[in-house]
Structure 1
Amino acid sequence: MLKSIVLLDDNSATNFIHETYLRRVNCVERIHTFTMGIKAIEYLKTLEVFPELIFVDINMPTMDAWEFMEIYEEIDMSLKINTRVILLTTSIIPSDKGKMSLYSEIEAMMFKPLNEEAIRNILGRVFQSNTIIILSC
């Protein structure tokens, strides 16, 4: 079971849906939701142990995923060594795929909203050592 996941999406309803599915899959102890990138960054900068997974909406009004990643990259790598970032979008634009390759910390880009099956697939792929536990949830 993961200790912590961060959800970052400017749409509160989307965060609620994703949090609901994460709880149904029963794969994480704590879920932290943010609707503003700067608030998520401020939170992350207070941590000594980073969440294992961060979901970031690509298109947000005040700070998009790319601006978030620019600041996120500046955080000490030793703090986020076990953290994976997954970008979420409603439409994959070819330029987003190109931008994604500039950030080694981005694990994948996926369509939203997520569902239970997508969450299990993400966890199984990203955290292979947890696959048996996750799939049994």
Structure 2
Amino acid sequence: MLDQILCVDDDPITLMLCKKVIIKASFSNEIITSQNGEEALHYFNTLKYTNTDDHQLKKHPQLIFLDLNMPVMGGWEFLDHFSNEAFSEFKNIKVIILSSTIDPEDLEKSKTYPMVIDFLSKPITITMLEYLKSKI
């Protein structure tokens, strides 16, 4: 079981479903949510400043479920920022793209980001989480 997961999606129903399925599958102890990439980056910036201030590594997500199409900042833009040197202390965090589109170009693009370990189709399911347990 993972300690903490971040789900980034602009749809509140998708976020609620993610939480329910993750809890039911005993996949993570804690689920944090963001409604777009900008909110998620802000969350990681908060962790960075906390870590600098007290010199302790605050608990952070081990896995991110990331939607691609969101207002404000979408998944690709988030990945561009998150793979930047400014977030290097989080480089071990794995990302699963969870999208309603299965565009072959998106799948290929996702492979250019080392942190992205899979590209799955919504909605999240218990079977999907069982598969991910074996992969992580």
Q: TM-score normalised to the size of structure 1?
A: 0.84
Q: What is the CA deviation profile of residues 75-96 of structure 1, one whole-angstrom value per residue up to 9, with x for unaligned ones?
A: 4323332x11000111211210
Answer whether contact 1:53 1:84 (CA < 8 A) is retained: yes
Answer whether contact 2:41 2:82 (CA < 8 A) is retained: yes
CA RMSD of superposed structures (Å): 1.4
Aligned twin of 1:61 = 71
Counterpart of 2:46 in 1: which secondary structure?
coil
Q: What is the CA deviation profile of residues 23-48 of structure 1, one whole-angstrom value per residue up to 9, with x for unaligned ones?
A: 00112111001112111111012224
Answer yes or no: is 1:51 the counterpart of 2:42. no
Distance in 2 separating the partners of 1:36 and 1:58: 9
Answer yes or no: is 1:23 the counterpart of 2:27. no
Distance in 1 separating the partners of 2:35 and 2:135: 26
Answer whether contact 1:41 1:72 (CA < 8 A) is retained: yes
Answer yes or no: is 1:8 the counterpart of 2:8. yes
Aligned positions, number: 125
Choose the corresponding residue for 1:94, options 84, 99, 104: 104
Which sections of structure 1, spanning at least 5 residues, go unmatched? Answer: 127-137
In structure 1, what residue type is equivalent to 2:66?
V
Distance in 2 separating the partners of 1:101 and 1:116: 24
Answer whether contact 2:7 2:65 (CA < 8 A) is retained: yes
Percent identity (aligned): 29
Which stretch of structure 1 is more off in the superposition, 32-41 or 43-52? Answer: 43-52
Which sections of structure 2, spanning at least 5 residues, go unmatched? Answer: 48-56
Answer whether contact 1:3 1:51 (CA < 8 A) is retained: yes
Distance in 2 separating the partners of 1:123 and 1:57: 20
Distance in 2 separating the partners of 1:120 and 1:45: 31
Aligned twin of 1:33 = 33
Task: State the Cα distance separating 1:117 from its structure 2 match.
Answer: 1.2
In structure 1, what residue type is equivalent to 2:28?
V
